[in-house]
Chains A and B, each alone.
Chain A
Amino acid sequence: MECGIAGIAGGVSRMGRASCLSAQAGLILLCLGHPLEAGAYTPTTAPNGAAVRWVGNPKLNFAGNPQNQRGFAAEELRASAVRGLQRWQAASGGGVSFDYWQGTDPSIYSPNSDYNGLSSIYFASAQSGSSSSTSGSLSPNVLGLTQVWYNTDTGEVLEADIVLNDRDFQFTSNVSDTSGFGTGKTEVWGGRNQVFIDNVLTHELGHAIGLSHAGGLQSTMLFMESPEQAFLSCDDLSAVRALYPTGDSGARGSLTGVVQTDTGAPLYGAHVLAISRRRGTVLASGLTDRNGRYAMDALEPGEYFIAIEPFLAGSQALPAFFSGIDPNVCSGKQTFARSFLTAAGGFKLQAVRIEARRQASAPAVRVRCTTTGGAAVVALEEASTSGSALVYDPAKDGSGFGVVDRLVAGYSSTYRMKDISGRLELHALSYTLYSPIRPLLSLYDSFGEPVDARIVDKVYVGESGFTNYDAAIVAEQLPLGDYYLEINGRSLNASLYPAGPVMLDAVPFLVVTGSMNEAAPALASAIPFNPRCRMSEAFPAYKSPSGNPPRRSTSGNDGGIGFCGQMELRGGGPPSGGPGAGAIAGWLLPWGLMIGAAQLMRQSARRRGSHLARL
C-alpha cells in the first residue's frame, strides 16, 4: 500500500496483521482526501499538493522546556506559549484546542526538534556545546523555527517542533520590543536585538497548525518579525477558520478567481488581497496556483475588492510546492505592478459579492505592467471641489463604492459623493497596501463647509507602538446633498512598514472605500470590527494537566498515525554520511562485554556467598 506506509520499507511491523489491516482501511480514506485547498491564507503544502494540517479539529499537545542561558524566566515562556495557543484557539472558534506542559527534564521535555512523537518548544541556547547544525544554519537572520512533520501521503501533521533563537536575540516580555520594521525604531546593524517573545512564538505556532508565510502587512504569519505580530490579524483569523471549519462555517462564503499576465497567460504566485468594502481593510489573502487560480475560504459575507501584487518575499519563503514563482512577467523581465479589479475608467473598483454557503467567482484580473514603476493606477485628475471626480452615485453604486487613485505627497485630491444622506463611513487604505503615503481626510458639504465628522487619521495604534496609518472618517445624520472628501498625502518612511522596503510600492496610491447607511459587518462577533480584526485577549486562566505530556508513537502502533511499520532511520544517501548503527554498535560492544562480564562475576560471587551462608 502506497498510502502511509510507503517508504518505510525495511521497518519491522510491531502491529498484528489484523490491526494493521484495520488501520490501513482507515488510512485509505485519508489518502483519498485532502487535495490542496487554497483559502484565504498560504497553506503549508506537501510536494504532492496535499494540505499539511492536523486531521479534524485537533487538540495540540506541546511540551515546553524553558532552559536557556539568557536568563529568560520559565514562567514567561509558559505564559507566552499558553497565550499563543489561546490566540489560535480563540481565532478558530474552538476548531483547535490545546494542552501545554512545561518542564526541564530533557528525557520528558526534549530540547530538540527530532521526530520523536513530542511537539517541543525550546530555546537554542539550551543545547549544550556549539552544534554544527545550529551554528551553521541558525543565523542572526533567523529568530525562530518550526519543523512540521507530516504524513507524505495524506498531509496529516504528526508533530511540530519549535526552537527559539536566543543565541542571536534577547527574548523579552515587553510588547514593544521588536527586531523588525514597523515602528521606525529598528536598529538593524549589529547588536542582539530584544524581541517580544510572543511575536515569534505565536507566528511559529501558526506554522504548527499548518500555515505558511503570508505577505499581508498586518498578518501574524508575515515572513518577517514585526511589531504587533503577536496579535492575530484579519488574515490569520480567516486562515484558521478555513483550515479547521467550525460551527459558523455555514455563515461564511468563498471566493475564486483567475489572475493573468498582461498578455493573458495564467499568472502563478500572484498575491491576492480581498479588501472588505464594509470594513475598509484587507480581510484575507492568498496565492494563485500554476493555473493562475486563487481560492479564499471562510470569508465573511459582503462585498470585496480584489488587489493583486507580486509576492515580494519570494517563493523561498514558501513551501517547495510553490517553487518557481516569478513575478517578472512583463516585457524586459520587469515585475508586474500592483493591480486591481476595476470597472470602466480604470479607477472605480469592481466589487465581488460573497454570500454565505456560496462560492463567488470573481472576474479575471489581468495585471498591468508599468514602465514607471509603482501600482498600475489611473490617476484621477481633479483636485478641487469644483472639479472633483464623482466616485459615488446611489443610482449606480448602491450602498457603497471603492476607488483607487494616485496620491502625491504634499498635494490633495478631492472626490465627490452624490446624494448622500444619513450615515457615511469612508476608509482610505494606503499603508496597509504598502503604499508609501499617509492620507489625511477632510469632509466638506456642497458649500465648501467642513462637515462635523469623526476623523481617525491612524486607524490602529497598538501597545507595541505599531501604527497603521490608514485613515477613516464617519459622519452621522447627514442631510441629503453632495459631499466632498478631500485627501492630503504625506510620505511615510519605509521603516514604518512591517517587512520594510521589500514590499513597499514605488509610487504612492490609495484605495478609498465607502459605505452608506450600512449595519456592522455580518461576522463582527467572530471577526472583531476594527482595522486589524484585533481580538480581545481576556483569555481564561489555563492550568496544565497533571502528569507528563503524552508522547505520540512514531512507529504507528498507537493507531494514531496509521503506519503499519516501524520507521527505520536508515541512510539513503552517499556513504560519506555520519556513522551508521554498525559503527555505534562496534564501539559499544567491547564496553557491553566488559560490563556483562563484571555483572556475571558479581552474581557468581553473590551466589557463592549465599551458598556459604546456608551451609
Chain B
Amino acid sequence: MLRRRLPRNLALLVGVSGLLAGLFAWGIAQGTTFFERPFPETIENAPIVIRGVVTGTYTDWSREPGDQRIFTFYDLQVSEVFKGEVSGRAVLIRELGGENDGIGMQVAGAAQFARGDDVVVLLGKPNPDGSHPVRGMMMGRYDILRDENDREYLAGAGLHDPGTGADRHSHDTHGDTHEKMDRDASPPRRWTLQDLRQLVREQLQLTQDKSVENPREKLVVPTTGTPASEAQQAASQLQPLPFESPVPESSDSEGEQMGLPVKLAIALLGLGALGALIFGRRSRHPK
C-alpha cells in the first residue's frame, strides 16, 4: 500500500514543486545596505548602460504570477546606448517601491526618477514583463551635469570612487598602521560621458583580448553571477542608435506574454495531478 502511494505523492510533489519553481523563478531581492565598488567595476558588471530622458511614470503591482510586489515603472526615451542592447528608442524600466491600492512599499536606496530627468542608467536584462530592472538601485542612476567647459559629466551615488586601495596600508612616522601622513582628501574623479564611452570601449577590448588569448576559457565577470557574455556586451554603436524596432507592442494574446517558467510550472502541475489520479486509481483497483 505504501509503495503504491509513493508515486502518487511523488507526482504531486513534482507538480507542486514545478509550480513553485516556476513562480520563484521571478523571485525577489534588492538591497539597502550598500557597498561602494569602483565605478569601472560597476560599469563592467552592468549588462546595459544607456542614457535617456524620463517621459512618464506609474506604479503598479507586479504582473508576474505569484509576485506580490509593487514597482514604479518609468518610460525612458533613449538617446544613447553605451553598452548592451535595448529593443527600441523607448525603454520601460522599473524599480521596487511605490504606492498602489492603499498599500505602500518602500525600499531605502531605491533609484528614483522624475519626469524630465536626463539620466544615465545601468540596467539588467529585461524582466518577463518587458521592463528592465535598474541595476544596483541608487548605484545605477546618474545625473548628467555640465562642467565649466560645458562638458557633460556624471553625478550619482555610485561615483564615490574609492580608488584602488594601493596606499591603504602604509605606516606613518609614528609607526601606527592604517595611517598616512601625506594623504590628501582629494575629491572623487569626475567622469565625463566621453570617459564613460572610453571605459566601455576599453573593457570590451580587454574582454576580446582575453577571448583571443584563451579562446576556450570561459569569461567570468568578477563578483557577479552575471555571465560575461551579457555583462560584457558593449553597444555596437556608442552614439545614438538608429533604432529599427520600437518597444514591443503588447500582444492581444495574454498567453503569449506568459514566460516559459509559468507554462512549464502549470504543465508540470497538471501532469503531476493526473499522475496522482492514475497511480491512485491503480492502487485501489489492482489488477
Hey, which bits of chain A sit against chain B, CB under 8 A? 4-9, 11, 44, 46-47, 52, 106, 111-116, 124, 127-153, 158, 161, 163, 165, 167-169, 179-181, 183-193, 199-200, 203-204, 207, 212-213, 223-225, 313-320, 323, 409-410, 436, 438, 467, 490-496, 499-502, 504-507, 563, 567-580, 582-584, 586-588, 590-591, 594-595, 598-599, 602, 605-606
Interface core residue of A167, A192, A573 (most chain B CB under 10 Å): A573
With contact pairs A179-B35, A501-B160, A579-B262 given, residues A491 and B136 touching in the complex (Cβ less than 8 Å)? no
Interface size class of B (residues with CB under 8 A): 35 or more
B188 contacts A by Cβ under 8 Å: yes
Tell me the residues in window 116-138 of chain B with beta carbons closer than 8 Å to chain A beta carbons.
122-130, 132-138
Contact residues in B for A563 (Cβ distance below 8 Å): 102
Once bound together, how far apart are the Cα atoms of A152 and B263, in whole Å?
A: 35
Give the tally of cross-chain contacts (CB within 8 A): 443
Once bound together, how far apart are the Cα atoms of A110 and B29, in whole Å?
A: 13
Contact residues in A for B38 (Cβ distance below 8 Å): 188-189
Q: Are A573 and B29 in contact (CB under 8 A)?
A: no
With contact pairs A148-B106, A567-B101, A578-B129 given, residues A167 and B222 touching in the complex (Cβ less than 8 Å)? no
Once bound together, how far apart are the Cα atoms of A445 and B135, in whole Å?
A: 60
With contact pairs A167-B225, A314-B138 given, residues A142 and B124 touching in the complex (Cβ less than 8 Å)? no
Tell me the residues in window 61-80 of chain B with beta carbons closer than 8 Å to chain A beta carbons.
61-70, 73
B31 to chain A, nearest CB (A): 3
Query: What does the 1/0 interface line of B79-116 toward A look like (CB < 8 Å)?
Result: 00000000000001001110111111111110110100
With contact pairs A207-B108, A587-B255, A587-B266 given, residues A163 and B28 touching in the complex (Cβ less than 8 Å)? yes
Query: What does the 1/0 interface line of B226-247 toward A look like (CB < 8 Å)?
Result: 1000000000000000000001
B44 to chain A, nearest CB (A): 9
Cβ contacts A to B, 17 pairs, < 8 Å: A7-B100, A136-B125, A137-B124, A138-B29, A140-B224, A142-B33, A147-B106, A190-B223, A314-B156, A319-B108, A320-B112, A491-B181, A501-B163, A572-B60, A573-B60, A578-B65, A578-B128
Q: Are B67 and A114 in contact (CB under 8 A)?
A: yes
Main secondary structure of the interface of A (DSSP, over half): loop
Q: Are A184 and B223 in contact (CB under 8 A)?
A: no
Query: What does the 1/0 interface line of B249-269 toward A look like (CB < 8 Å)?
Result: 110001101110111001001
**B169 and chain A: residue at smallest CB distance:** A184
Contact residues in B for A225 (Cβ distance below 8 Å): 33-35
Q: Are A200 and B177 in contact (CB under 8 A)?
A: no
Q: Are B37 and A188 in contact (CB under 8 A)?
A: yes
**B181 and chain A: residue at smallest CB distance:** A491
B196 contacts A by Cβ under 8 Å: no
Contact residues in A for B104 (Cβ distance below 8 Å): 46-47, 52, 149-152
B274 contacts A by Cβ under 8 Å: yes
Contact residues in A for B27 (Cβ distance below 8 Å): 111-112, 124, 127-129, 131, 133-134
**A314 and chain B: residue at smallest CB distance:** B157
B257 contact from A133, A570, A578, Cβ within 8 A: A578
Hey, which bits of chain B sit against chain A, CB under 8 A? 20-21, 24-38, 41-42, 45-46, 58-70, 73, 92, 95-97, 99-109, 111-112, 114, 122-130, 132-141, 156-158, 160-165, 167-170, 172, 174, 177-188, 222-226, 247-250, 254-255, 257-259, 261-263, 266, 269-270, 273-274, 277-278, 280-281, 284-285
With contact pairs A136-B127, A148-B107 given, residues A114 and B69 touching in the complex (Cβ less than 8 Å)? yes
B258 to chain A, nearest CB (A): 4
A578 to chain B, nearest CB (A): 3
B28 contact from A11, A112, A143, A499, Cβ within 8 A: A112
Q: Are A188 and B162 in contact (CB under 8 A)?
A: yes
B108 contact from A317, A490, A567, Cβ within 8 A: A317
Contact residues in B for A145 (Cβ distance below 8 Å): 29-33, 96, 107
Q: Are B261 and A129 in contact (CB under 8 A)?
A: yes
With contact pairs A152-B103, A578-B257 given, residues A132 and B125 touching in the complex (Cβ less than 8 Å)? yes
**B277 and chain A: residue at smallest CB distance:** A598
Q: Are A323 and B36 in contact (CB under 8 A)?
A: no
Once bound together, how far apart are the Cα atoms of A190 and B36, in whole Å?
A: 12
Once bound together, how far apart are the Cα atoms of A505 and B285, in whole Å?
A: 82
Q: Are A579 and B258 in contact (CB under 8 A)?
A: yes
B187 to chain A, nearest CB (A): 7
A112 contact from B24, B41, B182, B187, Cβ within 8 A: B24
Q: Are A595 and B270 in contact (CB under 8 A)?
A: yes
With contact pairs A141-B42, A149-B104 given, residues A134 and B157 touching in the complex (Cβ less than 8 Å)? no
Q: Are A572 and B58 in contact (CB under 8 A)?
A: yes
With contact pairs A137-B137, A142-B136, A168-B225 given, residues A151 and B103 touching in the complex (Cβ less than 8 Å)? yes
Once bound together, how far apart are the Cα atoms of A7 and B160, in whole Å?
A: 40
B252 to chain A, nearest CB (A): 9
With contact pairs A143-B31, A190-B222, A571-B63 given, residues A131 and B24 touching in the complex (Cβ less than 8 Å)? yes
B206 to chain A, nearest CB (A): 14
Once bound together, how far apart are the Cα atoms of A158 and B104, in whole Å?
A: 9
Contact residues in A for B30 (Cβ distance below 8 Å): 133, 137-138, 142, 145, 163
Q: Are A114 and B225 in contact (CB under 8 A)?
A: no
Q: Are B58 and A137 in contact (CB under 8 A)?
A: no
Contact residues in B for A568 (Cβ distance below 8 Å): 101
Q: Are B92 and A4 in contact (CB under 8 A)?
A: no
Once bound together, how far apart are the Cα atoms of A127 and B26, in whole Å?
A: 9
With contact pairs A114-B68, A129-B21, A145-B31 given, residues A316 and B36 touching in the complex (Cβ less than 8 Å)? no
Known: A134-B29, A145-B32, A571-B61; 20 extra A-B contacts, CB below 8 A, are A5-B102, A7-B99, A44-B106, A111-B24, A114-B68, A132-B26, A144-B31, A144-B33, A145-B29, A179-B35, A186-B165, A192-B223, A223-B34, A490-B172, A491-B183, A494-B183, A496-B179, A501-B162, A576-B249, A578-B129
**A169 and chain B: residue at smallest CB distance:** B35
**B48 and chain A: residue at smallest CB distance:** A136
Contact residues in B for A190 (Cβ distance below 8 Å): 41, 222-223
Contact residues in A for B167 (Cβ distance below 8 Å): 493
Once bound together, how far apart are the Cα atoms of A193 and B24, in whole Å?
A: 26
Q: Are B188 and A502 in contact (CB under 8 A)?
A: yes
Once bound together, how far apart are the Cα atoms of A5 and B109, in whole Å?
A: 28
Contact residues in B for A493 (Cβ distance below 8 Å): 167-168, 170, 178-180, 183
A583 contact from B36, B161, B258, Cβ within 8 A: B258
B60 contact from A153, A212, A571, Cβ within 8 A: A571
**A601 and chain B: residue at smallest CB distance:** B281
Contact residues in B for A588 (Cβ distance below 8 Å): 266, 270
Q: Are A136 and B123 in contact (CB under 8 A)?
A: yes
Contact residues in B for A223 (Cβ distance below 8 Å): 34, 108-109
A214 to chain B, nearest CB (A): 10
Once bound together, how far apart are the Cα atoms of A5 and B95, in whole Å?
A: 25
Q: Are A316 and B138 in contact (CB under 8 A)?
A: yes
Contact residues in A for B178 (Cβ distance below 8 Å): 183-185, 467, 493, 495-496
A67 to chain B, nearest CB (A): 12
A160 to chain B, nearest CB (A): 10
Once bound together, how far apart are the Cα atoms of A192 and B31, in whole Å?
A: 16
Q: Are B258 and A490 in contact (CB under 8 A)?
A: no
Contact residues in A for B266 (Cβ distance below 8 Å): 584, 587-588, 591
Q: Are B168 and A576 in contact (CB under 8 A)?
A: no
Q: Are B29 and A490 in contact (CB under 8 A)?
A: no
Q: Are B105 and A148 in contact (CB under 8 A)?
A: yes
**B261 and chain A: residue at smallest CB distance:** A129
Once bound together, how far apart are the Cα atoms of A428 and B70, in whole Å?
A: 47
A132 contact from B105, B133, B140, B277, Cβ within 8 A: B133
Once bound together, how far apart are the Cα atoms of A466 and B62, in whole Å?
A: 42
